[in-house]
Structure 1
Amino acid sequence: MNSLLNLLGIESWKPILSALVLPPVPLLLLVLIGARLILPRRGLGWLVILLSTLGLWFSACSGTAQFLNQVALKVPPALTREQVAELKAAAQAKQPIAIVVLGGGQEALAPEYGVANLNSFSLERLRYGLWLSRETGLPVAFSGGLGWSQPDGQPEAQTAARIAAQDFGHPLKWVEDQSKDTRENAARSVALLKPAGITQIVLVTHGWHMPRSVAVFEDAARGSIKIQPAPMGLAVRVDTKSLEWVPTARGFTNVRNALHELLGSLVRA
């Protein structure tokens, strides 16, 4: 599918197409179809409306997101303290390993700062990547350019480099600022790190984004670089168990992220 979009020259349509096929748009359309069917076929019309309404309900539940992450996406676990210690030992032995943080978007202009700023997803990933670097001594790369929905402005990786140096006091070693999506993150990061002799990448991104990210990085590396997932953002953020099946804004965001990754894996985008 990604190749087809490139062939047709409509890569920039990817954000629009994603919005159209992910909740709530398809479910809202089903509600309208069900309402129209009530007139000629009352039973079928109400069935479609009922199923659509249930779909809308469950598409905003944290429990649905947890199910998708565990069963459909199979999100890998976080690095253990033992694995972090092994990475530290590898760094001390001068093994060619790099931490790669994947961008998740930015604000072209944050009025309170007067400059571009990372969005919450990117900032969380950057923070964990820098923490992991401090714990292990491994160098950090950040991958992220201008997304398809942001045609101009400062590339995300440059924003991350400024924040890493100024706010965290931990400069990045590599900046990959040309990629527009996850597949390009992989291709361009591998191309950047291969000449430096890197043989292992510790990949940092959110858990729901990790399975697809590992797959495209392994495709790009073609066995020349080992990819080790270092997922973050794995905490289950529900105050009480009963709220897992009550629609919330956070639940909707989590479900949509999971479905977006399933769609991306399905069409290999």
Structure 2
Amino acid sequence: MNEALVRLGIDSWKPYVAALVLPPMPFLVLIVVGAWFLARRRRLGWGLVASGVALVWLSASAAVAGPVSHWLLPRPPALTEARIAELRAEARGNPPPAIVVLGGGIEGPAAEYGARTLNWRSLERLRYGLYLAQKTHAPVLFTGGVGWADTGGTSEASAAAKIAAEEFGRPLRWLEDRARDTRENARYSVEMLRAAGVRHVLLVTHGYHMPRALRAFNEAAAGTMRIEPAPMGLARRSQKAGVRWLPTNSGYGDMRDTVHELLGLLAGA
């Protein structure tokens, strides 16, 4: 699907397509269809309405979203302290491995900062990438341009560079500011790192996003680089059992992220 949108020249439609197919839109449509049937086939109509309401509820509960996400999008294990120690030794080589942090979005102008800033996904990824850089002494590349759904002119990479230098005191080695999606993250990052002679990449992104990101980077590298996953965001939320079955923002977000990644994998995005 991704390639078809590109060939048709309508790849900018991707945010609209995603909004229409991600929860809760399909379930809301089911409810509307059920309501239309109420005056014609009452039993069918109520069945569709009840199904739509139940799916909206369950898709926003952590008790469903969490297991579904971990089952359909298996996460690679986190880097261990022993592995980080090995990477620290590798970083003394020439060339050293490179840490690649994938952007996850940017916020609009933030009055408190006087500029645009990274959203929470990008900030979490950047923080872990800089943590790895501190532990291993490997250089960092941040990849993220202006996304398909964004109208602003500031790239994620520019915002990340400012935060890394001014707030963490760790300047980034490379900025990739053209990518608009995961495939472009991979393509443009690999081009930059290949030119720098890098042969080993530590890929930093959220665990649920790692299957799609790994596929994109391995395809872009085409065997010329070793792509090693360095997933983050692997901690499970601590909630009481009863609360986990109630609709929450976190449950809703987890389900949308899961469906988004599955559609991305199927579409080749």
Q: Shift in Å at residue 151 of structure 1?
A: 3.8
Query: 1:2 corresponds to which residue?
Result: 2
Greater shift, 88-97 or 20-29, is seen at 88-97
Kept after mapping to 2: 8 A contact 1:62/1:238? no
Query: 2:26 corresponds to which residue?
Result: 26
TM-score (norm 1): 0.97
Kept after mapping to 1: 8 A contact 2:61/2:251? yes
Query: 2:38 corresponds to which residue?
Result: 38
Matched, 1:72 2:72: yes
Q: Shift in Å at residue 95 of structure 1?
A: 4.8
Query: 2:145 corresponds to which residue?
Result: 145
Q: Deviations over 1:34-82 (max 9, x none)?
A: 1111222222111111211111011101122222222111122211112
Q: Shift in Å at residue 94 of structure 1?
A: 4.0
Which residue identity lines up with residue 252 of structure 1 in the other structure? Answer: Y
Q: Shift in Å at residue 119 of structure 1?
A: 0.7
The 2-side partners of 1:138 and 1:4 are apart by 38
The 2-side partners of 1:185 and 1:209 are apart by 13
Q: Shift in Å at residue 138 of structure 1?
A: 0.6
Unmatched 5+ stretches in structure 1: none
Matched, 1:254 2:266: no
> What percent of counterpart residues are identical?
50
The 2-side partners of 1:64 and 1:209 are apart by 18
The 2-side partners of 1:30 and 1:69 are apart by 23
The 2-side partners of 1:93 and 1:152 are apart by 40
The 1-side partners of 2:193 and 2:43 are apart by 60
Kept after mapping to 2: 8 A contact 1:96/1:197? no
TM-score (norm 2): 0.97
Alignment of 1:80-159 (within 5 A): 80-159=80-159
The 2-side partners of 1:243 and 1:215 are apart by 35
Kept after mapping to 2: 8 A contact 1:69/1:75? no
Which residue identity lines up with residue 163 of structure 2 in the other structure? Answer: I
Query: 1:12 corresponds to which residue?
Result: 12
Aligned length: 269
SS of equivalent residue, structure 1 residue 246? coil
Task: Specify whether residues 77 and 65 from structure 1 end up closer, same or farther in structure 2 by C-alpha distance, changes over 3 A only.
Answer: farther
Unmatched 5+ stretches in structure 2: none
SS of equivalent residue, structure 2 residue 91? helix
For the aligned residue pairs, the C-alpha RMSD in angstroms reads 1.2
Q: Deviations over 1:136-187 (max 9, x none)?
A: 1111000000001124411110110111001100000010001111110000
Task: Specify whether residues 8 and 151 from structure 1 end up closer, same or farther in structure 2 by C-alpha distance, changes over 3 A only.
Answer: farther
